């Protein structure tokens, strides 16, 4: 086995390529499609002679006790009224002007000590926080100071057709999802209409920071007004950390500052940028050759969401299918799965027929950091059983892939690996495939990353061009909430220095009032750089994993006495 490597400089490039907003890879529901051509000439067709099925339209419950004492429930509330696309005059449908999140709470109703709102990273959904959220709630219950975690699904998640995945999970039959998304099957008489084209979501051009921060504020305001500054914490991962820090520096049109709604800020492997792009870059795009920027004109005209380069939008449905298969039938060896093998070939830079492998091994090769070149999506999840060879990933890293087509590959899970690794396969599989939402965000709004780039430094001056774009991110120097920053796979401790330097001491009336940002009470940095970028969210809740206990300690040190009071949720 080759040595695992820290992410190469190509990782930011892959993200920036994504931000150039490629259209989804073509996928058809019919046999003989583009998928077949990508799968390799010797790949047998999946269920080629099975007639189309009409599966029952089953659903998973909106509220579930996922482990003793811990409930997970999907909540939807009224959100920000986004403006129409000024180029097309297309307005966001009322059904999408909604704020949605997954609430993790104690099963015994109570007023929580604190609410931790979790903002996912690029291409991330609420499910990405599943293992961490459960750990935080479970530990808080055990310490007799229960908290809640609200993991955000950005409004773009409402565009996802999860009908086939929900039915597959409810019926514990992955073939339902395979047939619905990549075959000709129907669910409850309804066929998959295809992945949403850019032309159908012109309104998503206005889903930038103003819209998303309006949704976030609507969530926070479900907590009683007098409890927000003392009991609400905002935690962001990756690009979600950039959003979190920017929200804390934001001033709303009514004069309310983001940091005045928060008791503390947690940045997980991310932070706001150091300097803004120019107005010309914002409007027309450009940037350096390695970091292209899609400008506002193009976003409003054609490119409303971002798709992963090479892999496209369909990869998210396929990832959830592979995760569900690994969870339900880990030892099954499935041959001739065209779409799964197409994705694995792309990820592993492989050609021809892949060797047989269990569902666990297929999931492992797809997401483990030793084989997955997408460093912003990989975890340390164990090791394959079977011969491997080194290869140079199309995404820029030296990795490993299966090398013997005559061997059936299996998988050694993270806790049983040598040395022990961070994320059990079951944790990631559940995060991807359990509940009414999922790990991913299929249609990430292109406007969101553009707005963040315009807010770099969080010190926009009065009268600056950003004001004309309703970007009110001038308050970085006045941000007075305490900060916990966690450095993992894509950041090191030193990379948080610019974030540390731009804020204010902890504000008056807070538990650690007056603490400066060169102290742990004002700005603490946790070194978790032995983890990948995703591991802090998905790692096993063990003594070695200090992320949950550090977050809870930060909450405990900065929460006001008492509870939030009654929370107003449907």
pLDDT, tens digit, 9 for 90 and up, residues 216-253 = 999 999 999 999 999 999 999 999 999 999 999 999 99
For residue 288, with 0-12 CB atoms within 10 Å meaning exposed, 13-18 middle and 19 or more buried, which class applies?
A: exposed
Secondary structure (3-state) at 321: helix
What are the pLDDT digits (tens) for 171-184?
A: 999 999 999 999 99
**Would you say residue 290 has pLDDT above 60?**
no
CATH architecture of 63-154+207-276+455-558: 3-Layer(aba) Sandwich (3.40)
pLDDT of residue 373: 87
**Would you say residue 345 has pLDDT above 70?**
yes
| Pairing state between β 305-306 and 444-445 | antiparallel
Backbone angles phi, psi at 152, to 5 degrees: -80, 135
CA–CA dist 232, 222 (Å, integer): 11
CA–CA dist 216, 170 (Å, integer): 30
Query: Mean pLDDT throughout 70-76?
Result: 98
Backbone angles phi, psi at 384, to 5 degrees: -75, 155
Do residues 463 and 283 make contact, with C-beta atoms less than 8 angstroms apart? no
Do residues 136 and 551 make contact, with C-beta atoms less than 8 angstroms apart? yes
C-beta neighbour count of 64 within 10 angstroms:
15
Residue 538: cis peptide before it, omega within 30 degrees of 0 = no
What are the pLDDT digits (tens) for 460-511?
A: 999 999 999 999 999 999 999 999 999 999 999 999 999 999 999 999 999 9
The set of residues, in sequence order, having a beta carbon less than 8 Å from that of 65 and lying 6+ positions away, is 71, 107
CA–CA dist 19, 13 (Å, integer): 10
Chain-wide mean pLDDT for the chain? 91
Domain boundaries, the chain: 63-154+207-276+455-558
Backbone angles phi, psi at 75, to 5 degrees: -120, 135
pLDDT of residue 49: 58
pLDDT of residue 248: 98
pTM, two decimal places? 0.93
CA–CA dist 75, 203 (Å, integer): 23
CA–CA dist 532, 369 (Å, integer): 8
Q: How many helices (H) and strands (E) does the chain have?
A: 18, 18
CA–CA dist 302, 567 (Å, integer): 41
What are the pLDDT digits (tens) for 33-64?
A: 333 333 333 344 444 557 899 999 999 999 99
pLDDT of residue 10: 35
**CA atoms within a 13 Å half-sphere pointing along the CA-CB vector of 261:** 26
What are the pLDDT digits (tens) for 511-556?
A: 999 999 999 999 999 999 999 999 999 999 999 999 999 999 999 9
Do residues 566 and 224 make contact, with C-beta atoms less than 8 angstroms apart? yes
**Would you say residue 5 has pLDDT above 90?**
no
Helix (H) / strand (E) containing 181: helix 174-182
Q: Single out the residue of 296, 309, 307, 220 nearest to residue 259, CA to CA.
A: 220
Secondary structure (3-state) at 267: strand
CA–CA dist 399, 373 (Å, integer): 7
Query: Mean pLDDT throughout 366-387?
Result: 94
Q: Single out the residue of 34, 343, 314, 30 nearest to residue 196, CA to CA.
A: 314
For 419, the token pair is 């040395």
Secondary structure (3-state) at 129: helix
The set of residues, in sequence order, having a beta carbon less than 8 Å from that of 97 and lying 6+ positions away, is 78, 79, 80, 81, 82, 155
What are the pLDDT digits (tens) for 15-38?
A: 443 333 333 332 223 222 333 333
What are the pLDDT digits (tens) for 391-438?
A: 998 877 899 999 999 999 999 999 999 999 999 999 999 999 999 999
pLDDT of residue 48: 52
C-beta neighbour count of 364 within 10 angstroms:
30
**Would you say residue 309 has pLDDT above 90?**
no
DSSP 90: P
Dihedral-angle region of residue 47 (phi above 0 means left; psi in -120 to 50 means alpha; beta otherwise)? left
Predicted confidence band at 374 (pLDDT cuts at 50, 70, 90)? confident
Could you tell me the sign of the dihedral formed by the alpha carbons of 19, 154, 177, 180, in that order?
A: negative
Predicted confidence band at 380 (pLDDT cuts at 50, 70, 90)? very high
Quote the distance between the C-alpha of residue 481 and its chain's center.
24
Range in 41-50, 137-146, 276-285, 301-310 with the lowest mean pLDDT: 41-50
What are the pLDDT digits (tens) for 313-339?
A: 999 999 999 999 999 999 999 998 999
CA–CA dist 205, 301 (Å, integer): 9
Query: Mean pLDDT throughout 119-126?
Result: 97
pLDDT of residue 14: 39
Helix (H) / strand (E) containing 347: helix 338-348
CA–CA dist 430, 528 (Å, integer): 23
The set of residues, in sequence order, having a beta carbon less than 8 Å from that of 530 and lying 6+ positions away, is none
| Pairing state between β 148-153 and 398-402 | unpaired
């Amino acid at each position: 086995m080759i040595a695992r490597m820290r992410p190469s400089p190509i990782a930011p490039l892959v993200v920036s390529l994504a931000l150039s907003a490629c259209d989804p890879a073509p996928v058809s529901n019919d046999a003989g499609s583009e998928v077949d051509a990508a799968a390799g000439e010797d790949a047998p067709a999946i269920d080629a002679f099975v007639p189309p099925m009409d599966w029952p339209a089953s659903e998973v419950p909106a509220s579930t006790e996922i482990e003793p004492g811990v409930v997970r429930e999907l909540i939807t509330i009224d959100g920000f009224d986004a403006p129409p696309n000024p180029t097309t005059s297309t307005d966001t449908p009322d059904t999408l002007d909604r704020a949605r999140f997954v609430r993790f709470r104690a099963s015994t109703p109570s007023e929580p000590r604190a609410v931790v709102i979790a903002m996912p990273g690029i291409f991330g959904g609420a499910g990405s926080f599943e293992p961490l959220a459960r750990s935080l709630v479970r530990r808080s219950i055990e310490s007799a100071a229960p908290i809640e975690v609200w993991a955000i699904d950005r409004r773009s998640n409402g565009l996802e057709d999860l009908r086939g995945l929900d039915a597959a999970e409810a019926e514990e039959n992955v073939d339902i999802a395979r047939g619905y998304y990549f075959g000709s099957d129907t669910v409850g008489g309804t066929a998959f209409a295809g992945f949403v084209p850019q032309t159908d979501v012109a309104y998503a051009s206005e889903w930038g920071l103003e819209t998303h921060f309006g949704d976030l504020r609507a969530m926070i305001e479900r907590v009683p007004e007098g409890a927000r500054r003392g009991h609400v914490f905002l935690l962001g991962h990756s690009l979600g950390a950039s959003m979190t820090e920017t929200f804390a520096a934001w001033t709303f049109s009514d004069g309310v500052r983001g940091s005045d709604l928060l008791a503390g800020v947690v940045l997980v492997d991310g932070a706001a940028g150091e300097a803004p792009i120019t107005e010309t870059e914002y409007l027309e795009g450009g940037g350096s050759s390695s970091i292209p920027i899609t400008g506002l004109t193009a976003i409003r005209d054609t490119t409303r969401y971002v798709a992963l380069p090479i892999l496209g939008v369909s990869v998210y449905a396929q990832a959830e299918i592979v995760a569900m298969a690994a969870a339900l039938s880990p030892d099954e060896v499935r041959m001739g799965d065209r779409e799964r093998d197409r994705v694995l070939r792309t990820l592993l830079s492989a050609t021809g027929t892949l060797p047989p492998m269990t569902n666990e091994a297929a999931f492992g090769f797809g997401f483990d950091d030793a084989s997955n070149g997408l460093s912003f999506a990989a975890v340390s999840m164990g090791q394959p059983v079977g011969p491997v060879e080194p290869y140079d990933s199309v995404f820029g890293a030296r990795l490993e892939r299966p090398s013997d087509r005559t061997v059936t590959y299996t998988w050694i899970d993270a806790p049983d690996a040598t040395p022990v690794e961070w994320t059990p396969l079951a944790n990631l599989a559940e995060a991807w495939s359990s509940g009414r939402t999922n790990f991913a965000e299929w249609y990430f709004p292109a406007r969101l990353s553009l707005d963040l780039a315009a807010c770099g430094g969080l010190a926009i001056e009065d009268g600056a061009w950003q004001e004309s774009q309703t970007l009110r991110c001038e308050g970085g120097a006045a941000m007075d909430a305490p900060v916990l920053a966690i450095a993992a796979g894509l950041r090191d401790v030193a990379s948080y220095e610019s974030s540390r330097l731009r804020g204010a001491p902890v504000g008056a009336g807070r538990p650690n009032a007056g603490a400066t940002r060169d102290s742990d009470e004002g700005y603490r940095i946790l070194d978790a750089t032995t983890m990948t970028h995703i591991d802090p969210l998905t790692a096993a809740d063990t003594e070695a994993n200090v992320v949950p206990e550090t977050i809870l300690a930060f909450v405990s040190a900065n929460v006001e006495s008492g509870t939030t009071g009654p929370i107003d949720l449907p």
